[in-house]
């Protein structure tokens, strides 16, 4: 297994705390309190453009998924194991003796 490329810092996973490193646990309750289902059709101005709140939220989720995919590919290219953040990664399935589920 190759290590990370020069200039890329590798973090020892054993030292990590088990607290979430994302802001989503705080964002989701705020969205639920301030955006109702009916309000998802409302318009919001962002960067000088008008967007429907629901479409903006869907676009942000797709954009996050896109970057997750990019990071997965880059991690595998440099020989790092992909963490199973959103369910088991391919390597996790292999360790369980099973084929990855579609």
Instruction: Give the residue carrying structure tokens 């810092």.
Output: 9
pLDDT in tens, 24-47: 677 778 878 888 888 899 999 988
Residues with Cβ within 8 Å of residue 38, at least 6 apart in sequence: none
- pLDDT tens for 62-81 read 998 899 889 989 998 999 98
Residue 85 pLDDT grade (very low, low, confident, very high; cuts 50, 70, 90):
confident
Going through 14-83 in order, the beta strands assigned E by DSSP cover: 43-46, 49-52
pLDDT in the model for residue 22: 61
What pLDDT is attached to residue 3?
Answer: 46
Measured in whole angstroms, the distance separating CA 101 from the mean position of its chain's CA atoms is: 19
Which positions ≥6 away from 44 have C-beta within 8 Å?
50, 51, 52, 53, 56
| Count of alpha carbons within 13 angstroms of residue 96, beta-carbon side | 12
Residue 2: half-sphere exposure toward Cβ, Cα within 13 Å? 10
Ordered structural domains, the chain, with CATH: 22-95 (1.20.120.450)
């Amino acid at each position: 297994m190759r290590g990370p490329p020069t200039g890329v810092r590798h973090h020892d996973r054993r030292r990590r705390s088990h607290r979430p490193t994302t802001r989503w646990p705080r964002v989701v309750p705020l969205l639920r309190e301030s955006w109702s289902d009916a309000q998802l059709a409302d318009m919001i101005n962002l960067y000088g453009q008008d967007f429907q709140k629901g479409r903006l939220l869907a676009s942000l989720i797709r954009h996050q998924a896109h970057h997750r995919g990019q990071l997965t590919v880059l991690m595998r290219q440099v020989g790092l194991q992909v963490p199973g953040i959103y369910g088991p990664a391919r390597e996790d399935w292999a360790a369980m003796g099973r084929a990855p589920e579609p």
